[in-house]
Structures are given as structure tokens and as C-alpha cells.
């Protein structure tokens, strides 16, 4: 099942909607603007801004429509909501998190849902988030040219 996310450019009475993170399978033209289509299990960061009030939703797309899942504006069908941020500072930190993951070549969809729940707590706090976020991430994988095996282990 594909998940559709409406992307809108701002007009006088409509919200602005943009993708902060996500790798759509396709982008189709819609009546209100482009519609990005995502496959199941993908992490998407979706920013809505209406009347200067931002809201960032970080969610995972589902394989089936679950009536108990979160219904978000501009997103069909329902999704598993992992984070909802409402302040500029927290949204800026979340953008920085996705930029860091891209820079270090980590796939946000490969990270567990628990990571985003814990990251949400870090983004809401006042501690230096860059050091805490590094401790939440799994260590980077070694290159495939030189497999790293712990000493004393048998393959």
C-alpha cells in the first residue's frame, strides 16, 4: 500500500506543506499541488505551516490501513506517528538530525521507532543534543572491504 503526502505552496488561506525528509517512490500532480507517494515502512518528515504556526510530523508509513493509527492533515491513509514538534527551535534541531543522518549515510527508515521516540525527548530538552543523539545512534557499520569481527568470535 502506498501512502500519499500532499505538498503545497502557500496561498492566502491554505497551509504550506513541505517534505523535510523522505524518499518518495513517485511524485504525481494533484489538484492542490504535487503528491508524493511512499512505500510501506518509510520514515517521512512532513512540515505544515499555517498562519505562521509550524508543525513537524515524523511518521512511518504502514503496510495496511490501521483505524487506530494517526490521521494527519494532507496524509492518506493513516500512519504511525513518531514525533510531533511545534516550536521553531525543535523543528530546527530535527532538520539538523536528518541532515546529520544524510551526511553520515544512515538510512532514517532503517532506524527503529524507539530511536525517534528517544530523539523526541532529546529534542525537547535543554541539554546539548548533538552529544546525546550520537549516543542514541548505533555505531556506523564497517566498510564491506574489511569485515570487522570481534576478537575471539567465530564467523
The residue range of the domain holding 100 is 3-136
Phi, psi of 99 (to 5 degrees): -65, -40
Structural domain includes residue 153: no
What does the angle CA 56 – CA 62 – CA 66 come to, to the nearest 5 degrees? 100
Q: Tens of pLDDT along 57-67? A: 999 999 998 88
Tell me the C-alpha distance between 40 and 45, whole Å. 15
Structural domain includes residue 122: yes
Which pLDDT belongs to residue 109? 95
Structural domain includes residue 26: yes
Which pLDDT belongs to residue 9? 77
Structural domain includes residue 152: no
Tell me the C-alpha distance between 136 and 125, whole Å. 15
Give Cα separations from 23 to 41, 46, 142 (angstroms): 11, 12, 24
Residue 61 in contact with residue 26, Cβ under 8 Å?
no
Which pLDDT belongs to residue 15? 82
Structural domain includes residue 9: yes
pLDDT (average), residues 8-24: 84
Q: Tens of pLDDT along 82-141? A: 999 999 989 998 999 999 999 999 999 999 998 998 888 777 776 565 666 666 777 777
Q: Helix, strand, coil: what percent of the chain each, to 5?
A: 25, 30, 45
59/33: higher pLDDT: 59
Amino acid at each position: 500500500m502506498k501512502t500519499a503526502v500532499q505538498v503545497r505552496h502557500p496561498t492566502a488561506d491554505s497551509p504550506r506543506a513541505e517534505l523535510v525528509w523522505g524518499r518518495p517512490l513517485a511524485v504525481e500532480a494533484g489538484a492542490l499541488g504535487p503528491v508524493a507517494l511512499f512505500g510501506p515502512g518509510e520514515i517521512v518528515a512532513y512540515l505544515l505551516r499555517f498562519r505562521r504556526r509550524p508543525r513537524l510530523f515524523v511518521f512511518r508509513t504502514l503496510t495496511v490501513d490501521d483505524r487506530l493509527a494517526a490521521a494527519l492533515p494532507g496524509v492518506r491513509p493513516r500512519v504511525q506517528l513518531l514525533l510531533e514538534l511545534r516550536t521553531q527551535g525543535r523543528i530546527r534541531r530535527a532538520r539538523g538530525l536528518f541532515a546529520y543522518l544524510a551526511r553520515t549515510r544512515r538510512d532514517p527508515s532503517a532506524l527503529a521507532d524507539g530511536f525517534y521516540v528517544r530523539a523526541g525527548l532529546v529534542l525537547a530538552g535543554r541539554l546539548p543534543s548533538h552529544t546525546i543523539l550520537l549516543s542514541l545512534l548505533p555505531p556506523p557499520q564497517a566498510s564491506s572491504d574489511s569485515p570487522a569481527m570481534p576478537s575471539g568470535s567465530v564467523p
